[in-house]
Structure 1
Amino acid sequence: MANSFPIVALTSGGPHAWIMINALQERFGAFPVIVEEGESSEVLWKRRRKMLGPLKVASMQAARLPIKLTKRGTHGIIEGIVAREELRPEPADGTEIHNVPSVNSDICRHLLAKFSPRAVFVVSTRMIGKKTLNSVDAPFINYHSGINPAYRGMFGGYFALANGEPENFGATVHLIDEGVDTGEILYQSKVEVAPEDNFHTYLWRMAAGSRDIVIKAMDDALNGKLAPTKVNLPSRQWFAPTLGGYVWTGLRRGVW
């Protein structure tokens, strides 16, 4: 007989994903983690060119150079956040990891059915299709680094600061539907940034200040107490900074 677990996680990996998964395992005990292969940059940029047009995407790609230059000196800041907040950005010893090509693959759906979780925690994956969402009778709950619905998509914390809205620097835990971060909202965190923070530290700062809402949401799911809330903000999906936007925002607002 297949083992049944209260929680299963879906992720493509990365330090911020493991911070959340480790916090959940510390609270609820060990559970399997299904790790998908990340999309290639070629596929990602091709999709963006189709959506946004070649000129805008070329500017986004050009912005990677100044963004890379601002990385200098951030290693110590990140080390400080990890130490102070006791973050664990690597898989814990003994974690049961199953590698799959995609969260939308047959093998992923087979594993979900095998584990029969009561709740599925999702962090840092590609969009999950209807077939996978319907493969188990359990809510799929996503951790998103941004305040929905105003900062759906990518780099929500950066764009909130770039728009002069530090009050919207934070994260959202929400139910997953077939849209891009459009599912019903469960909890949100509002996190303060430090003067030394930049593009490379925002996700770490956000993860450190958002583990509690992830634990609350999963606890609600396991106890049948999920209670989505309404957030009165305009809805917009963000992608990546353009070259002009990144440099201008850095000079004008000091947001790098």
Structure 2
Amino acid sequence: MDAGNRERLERGSAAVVVLAGPGLIPAILVNALATAFPGRVTVIEETPLSPFALARRRARRLGWIAALGQLATSIVSRLTKTFAQARSQAILSAYGHAAERNRDVPVIRVRSVNDDATHEAIARLQPAAVLTVACRLLTKKTLSRIPCPIINFHGGINPAYRGQMGGYWALAAGDRDNFGCTIHLVDSGVDTGATLYDVRLQPDPADTMATYPLLLAAAGAEKTVQAVQDALSGTLKPFEPARPSRMHYPPTLWRWLWNGLSRGVW
């Protein structure tokens, strides 16, 4: 930690930067941080890729059949959120979260968290801790421009449920004891950084793929704040879970239907 950050920590004014996409999940975590560290949180918000751009990117890795199947599931999931509004509100109420992001938190909008505009903002803000949530993976260049701990909120238990839709895949695998989220350090891999905290819980029968991410963010907000506090105080205690590591992607539409019909996991 450089002398400037150490001095800001001592007088309680060290900056916390959140690299995020738009949406409800980042809003929950930003609000929690803003409550814990008033006047010290800044959001750098990127423009998310369109579903079709994501499909093209996944097609290069997984092939077009899988990518289009995942796109179809994404479209269906968005439609089902309309029917999940009551459950979503119940989750927010149960954990004491608001759906709207705190308007007092400054927001810097960029095309991508890996753009030069982001690097310039980081250099200007000189954060003592950075949280990433629902944004692009950080490139090696971006990682090199952030001279402080980088923490990620992940909606799955690492390393067994790395990647996307970790909570959903735990349920689909019958591994209900590992339905949860992980707060971990960021490295150059995909959810491969050392774990700081993980939070396990049991979903409500009314929960589906439309509400799993919200439930995990609501339940994991407290430990996310704690991880950032640990970073600010220099007391981070990362550890490596002794579990198999596996990468996951969103389910294709046919896999989602199969898991729903055969296992009751929607």
Pick the TM interval, shorter chain.
over 0.9
1:250 aligns with 2:260: yes
Pairwise CA RMSD: 1.7
- Unpaired stretches in structure 1, ≥5 consecutive residues: none
Alignment of 1:1-256 (within 5 A): 5-30=14-39, 31-64=41-74, 67=77, 70-71=80-81, 73-256=83-266
CA contact 1:6–1:222 (8 Å) conserved in 2? no
CA contact 2:132–2:151 (8 Å) conserved in 1? yes
- Unpaired stretches in structure 2, ≥5 consecutive residues: 1-7
TM-score by length of 1: 0.93
Q: CA deviation at 1:226?
A: 1.0
CA contact 2:19–2:130 (8 Å) conserved in 1? yes
Separation (CA, whole Å) in 2 of partners of 1:253 and 1:124? 28
Which 4+ residue blocks in structure 1 deviate beyond 6 angstroms? none
Partner SS, residue 121 of structure 1: strand
TM-score by length of 2: 0.90
Q: CA deviation at 1:192?
A: 1.3
Q: 1:38 to 1:65 in 2, by over 3 A?
A: closer
Q: CA deviation at 1:26?
A: 0.4
Encode CA deviations 1:20-79: one digit per residue, 9 max, x unaligned.
111011011122111111122232111111101122223223334654564453111111
Letter in 2 for 1:208: A
Identical pairs, percent = 39
Aligned residues: 254
Q: 1:69 to 1:122 in 2, by over 3 A?
A: closer
Separation (CA, whole Å) in 1 of partners of 2:75 and 2:238? 40
Q: CA deviation at 1:89?
A: 2.9
Greater helix fraction, Structure 1 or Structure 2: 2
Encode CA deviations 1:178-229: one digit per residue, 9 max, x unaligned.
1111111111000210111111111121112111210111111011111111
